[in-house]
Each structure stands twice: as structure tokens, then as C-alpha cells.
Amino acid sequence: MPMPRSRLVIRASATPAGAQEQGTSKRREVLGALSLASAGSVLSGVAAPLLPSAIAAPDPAAVLLDAYAKFGDFQASGDPAKYKVFETTFTDDISWESNVNGGFKGKGKADVARFFKFVNTYNAISKFEPFKLVAQGNEVVSLVNLAGKGALTGTQYSTTVVHVATISPDGKIAKFREICDSALINAALGAPAF
């Protein structure tokens, strides 16, 4: 769902004589910040969307951290409703890759749901701590300390994984890639391949 555009409407109103000068100054500040095209529409009383160049792009690191927080809520509870909240951080056509358990490549929310069903079934995560994020453009690379144990084997593991995420213009994860020590995690999970 596209993000709604912000609208700014300035309406004329009666002001006390002393406040009129202050209001004029404030109006100049606001209009100075707007482009001439938007200012003309605003002054005519027609709400005008801000120009795309005036709308800040989402911070990729903040988007990924928000997704991590929602993943944590889901992981801690196993509640399908919390998964749906986590899923709102993805584009509909998200591309998801992981080298865990023979590798996973999925496209779309249904495939990603299959990946997380696997995670919840075979991987009892006890620690998920992002500790380094580097963003460039619409991409962010994250290092995450990950620990847990295989639900089938009871074998514990502790490692660092790398996540590379591409963030869409509307602030959702469009592409996600996970790279980990697959030999270590696969041995702990003892799970069938995807």
C-alpha cells in the first residue's frame, strides 16, 4: 500500500493586530521552504502534495531495525497475528534468500511465510542482536549475533549472520539476503532441506 502524501494547507484567518506581523513572518518561513509550484497551490487554498523531491526517503537502517523489532515480537510469541504485523514490513513481491539448510530462495509474501514457518519449527532462537548496520543509498547491511538450538537435535549454536536488505521508496523491504555459517546452523537444526 503506498504511503499517503503529506499535505499542507494554509488558511487565512482573522488575527489580532499585534499578531498579524508575527503571522506574516511565519507564513514567509513556510512559503520559503516550499517550491514555487507548491506554494502557488497552497496560497490558492487548494491542498497540494509536496513535491517528491521534498519528501525524505525512508532511512534504510531504521526500516530494517523496525522489521527486526517486529520479528522479535513474533519470534517471542509465535503468534500468527504478530507475524502479520512483521509481514507489513515487506513489499508484496519481496525477494528473500538464505543459505540456511541447503538454501532458500523465495519470491512474494507467501514464500517468505514458508521460510518463517521453517524457522519457527526447527530453530529455537535465543539471541538475535543486530550490532552493526551500514547503509548506502536504499541498501543496508547488518551484522547480527544469533544464537539458539535446533528444535530436533537440541544442539546449541552461536554465530554472526550477515543480512543485506534493499528498501523500497515506500519504506518496505523489497529484497533480503541472509548469509551465515550454514554448516554450523544446519548441523544444529538437523532439519530437512527446504
What's the grid cell of residue 137? 543509498
Secondary structure class of 126 (helix, strand, coil): strand
Cα dist. 71→37, 66, 154 in Å? 42, 9, 23
Phi-psi region of 137 (alpha: psi -120 to 50; beta: other; left: phi over 0): left
- Predicted pLDDT at 50: 52
- Predicted pLDDT at 49: 52
Closest Cα to residue 164, out of 146, 177, 180? 177
- Predicted pLDDT at 9: 29
- Predicted pLDDT at 43: 38
- Predicted pLDDT at 52: 53
Q: Each residue of 117-138: pLDDT tens digit?
A: 999 999 999 999 999 999 999 9
| CATH 3.10.450.50 describes domain 60-189 | yes
List, for the chain, all residue ranges whose pLDDT scores fall below the cut of 70: 1-55
123-136 vs 104-107, strand pairing mode: unpaired
Closest Cα to residue 58, out of 132, 165, 177, 163? 165
- Predicted pLDDT at 27: 39
What are the sequence ranges of the domains in the chain?
7-54, 60-189
What's the grid cell of residue 92? 508484496
What is the model's pTM? 0.70
Task: Kindly state the helix (H) or strand (E) to which residue 116 belongs, with its residue range.
Answer: helix 109-122
